Amino acid sequence: MRNFDNERYNLVVIGAGTAGLVAAAGTVGLGGRVALIERNKMGGDCLNFGCVPSKALISSARVAQLMRDASKWGFERTEPQFDFATVMQRMRARRAQIAPNDSQERFESLGVDVFRGQARFVSPHEVKVGDRTLRARHFLIATGSRATIPNIEGIDSVPYFTNETIFDQLNDKPRSMIVLGGGPIGCELGQAFARLGVKVTIVQAAPQLLPPEDADVADFIQRRLEEEGIDVRLNASATRVYRDGSDTVLEFTNTQRVSAEVLLLAVGRTPNLRALDLAAAGVDYDESGVRTNDYLQTSQPHIYAAGDITNKFKFTHTADFSARIVVRNVLMPLQLLRQKVNWSAVPWCTFTDPEVAHVGFGEKEANVKGIEYDLFRVELAQVDRAVVESEEAGFAKILTGKGSDQIVGATMVGAHAGDLLHEFVVAMNARVGLGRIASMIHVYPTLAELARKAGDQYNKTRLTPRAKRIFTWLYSQGR
């Protein structure tokens, strides 16, 4: 029998979510010896409780709404007929189809040693899992985050769901639901369940939904949710929750209250780090996660952290991004050869309908940071493809440096916004300005013409009165 206690790895990865899996596969693919430790489900939050099941559910809910809105495309409106449990089963089946990509069997076939159980440090160079002690030259902490349970009176006395339980434990359609939290998870799932026939109330402590976004973006999404029958309560700090018969009652600011059959908590994320015994490894951390430098090294330079446990942006794609940096940095023998993490152009998308996609600065953040900018706004109603598809609700806002065409931020609200955003992500990273974008050929008719139209707006700003006089003179000489 193989004695793992006497072996030394190039990298021991703690956590088999996105960051851990990417780092393990990348390192073993380059010839490194890797151990991967997971205490729960392979694939972590994204596969099991996050992106994959939520987007599968959202896609079903979108079809239901398309049937209700069929008159927009010349068909008779119809109320969708469906079995709620079958929709939930379909979501789980979609997830199961993707799951083998993250399975223990696949990673073992790649050459990764997979260990199941809780990991804890016993020294800066040793991790214990079960009765085995694993030693390595480098370690990666990638244990992710979990749903935050708010500290409100009565929360331990009532049943509730989080994103970690609702996809597997909710089978029968509830008549009503309170969603506590108006961030991306709350808005996405609130809209999806409302479209599946659940009476939804979103209770948000902040003065707007989607707090990182500009107010006009949040207002647009709020109007759409309310048009679909969702009750949105803002500036509503929850104070107490209790059961009243078969319902859960939530009290909030100014003694207001709402009641519903089920409660979904979506108030944020908490890092998974308490069981790791980071003190034994000499790794610094706080309530927001593990502290790292620009190279993703912890206070122990041979111990790295990636993903939700340390990233300020808690997305699957940023977990993947940071893990790739760790793969490079573990391999490099000198710090000057290692790569720093750069968060200057991080895209994200909230998968409501319409979607909200964002990269760089919005107006609100730019104003707070004193960044001067020029704003170019394109309504989707100006894009022919959006009009013929009856998807003209929404807009794009592009921010450039004052007096420049260099893009410092972009926000899109509309159908396929998450896909359309990437032209601006590439442009920001490659320092391609709006003027260049306007000169590039875009297929007609596509939604991507939105980017060219923003570029056209920028070019019009260059037609100053003096420039126009010069052009007028040149034309007069050519007649």
For residue 454, the model assigns a pLDDT of 96
Alpha-carbon distances, residue 330 vs 298, 310, 394 (angstroms): 13, 17, 44
Quick check: 255 pLDDT over 90? no
Quick check: 1 pLDDT over 60? no
Amino acid letter for position 109: S
For residue 478, the model assigns a pLDDT of 75
31-53: pLDDT as tens digits? 999 999 999 999 999 999 999 99
| Mean pLDDT of the region 78-101 | 97
For residue 384, the model assigns a pLDDT of 98
Q: Which of 326-330, 443-447, 457-461 has the lowest mean pLDDT?
A: 457-461
Quick check: 472 pLDDT over 90? no
| Mean pLDDT of the region 264-292 | 96
For residue 6, the model assigns a pLDDT of 62
For residue 306, the model assigns a pLDDT of 98
Q: Answer whether 382's CB lies under 8 Å from 347's CB.
A: no
pLDDT band at 2 (very low <50, low <70, confident <90, very high): low
Quick check: 4 pLDDT over 80? no
Tokens of 21: 């899996």
Alpha-carbon distances, residue 275 vs 119, 149, 203, 272 (angstroms): 8, 18, 32, 8
For residue 433, the model assigns a pLDDT of 97
For residue 413, the model assigns a pLDDT of 98
Quick check: 113 pLDDT over 60? yes
151-197: pLDDT as tens digits? 999 999 999 999 999 999 999 999 999 999 999 999 999 999 999 99
3-state secondary structure the chain: CCCHHHCEEEEEEECCCHHHHHHHHHHHHCCCCEEEEECCCCCHHHHHHCHHHHHHHHHHHHHHHHHHCHHHHCCCCCCCCCCHHHHHHHHHHHHHHHHHHHCHHHHHHHCCEEEECCEEEEECCEEEECCEEEEEEEEEECCCEEECCCCCECHHHCCCECCCCHHHHCCCCCCEEEEECCCHHHHHHHHHHHHCCCEEEEECCCCCCCCCCCHHHHHHHHHHHHHCCCEEECCCCEEEEEEECCEEEEEEHHHEEEEECEEEECCCEEECCHHHCHHHHCCCEECCEECCCCCCECCCCCEEECHHHCCCCCCHHHHHHHHHHHHHHHHCCCHHHCCCCCCCCCCEEECCCCEEEEEECCHHHHHHCCCCEEEEEEEHHHCHHHHHCCCCCCEEEEEEECCCCCEEEEEEEECCHHHHCHHHHHHHHHCCCHHHHHHCCCCCCCCCHHHHHHHHHHHHHCCCHHHHHHHHHHHHHCC
pTM over 0.75: yes
Amino acid letter for position 88: M
For residue 5, the model assigns a pLDDT of 59
312-370: pLDDT as tens digits? 999 999 999 999 999 999 999 999 999 999 999 999 999 999 999 999 999 999 999 99
pLDDT band at 469 (very low <50, low <70, confident <90, very high): confident
The torsion angles phi and psi of 22, rounded to 5 degrees, stand at -65, -45
356-406: pLDDT as tens digits? 999 999 999 999 999 999 999 999 999 999 999 999 999 999 999 999 999
The whole-chain average pLDDT of the chain stands at: 95
Percent of the chain with pLDDT over 90: 93
> Peptide bond preceding 354: is omega within 30 degrees of 0, i.e. cis?
yes
Burial 34-70 (b: 16+ CB within 10 A, else e): bbbbbbbebbbbbbbbbbbbbebbbebbeebbeeeee
Distance between CA atoms of residues 181 and 346, nearest Å: 23
| Mean pLDDT of the region 447-472 | 86
For residue 465, the model assigns a pLDDT of 74
| Mean pLDDT of the region 100-115 | 98
195-234: pLDDT as tens digits? 999 999 999 999 999 999 999 999 999 999 999 999 999 9
Quick check: 103 pLDDT over 60? yes
For residue 218, the model assigns a pLDDT of 98
Would you tell me how many other CB atoms lie within 10 Å of the CB of residue 92? 14
Site of tokens 């008779």: 76
pLDDT band at 473 (very low <50, low <70, confident <90, very high): confident
For residue 7, the model assigns a pLDDT of 72
6-18: pLDDT as tens digits? 679 999 999 999 9
Torsion of CA 212, 217, 218, 220, to 10 degrees: -170
Distance between CA atoms of residues 424 and 223, nearest Å: 27
Structural domains in the chain, CATH included, are 4-146+270-337 (3.50.50.60), 155-268 (3.50.50.60), 354-461 (3.30.390.30)
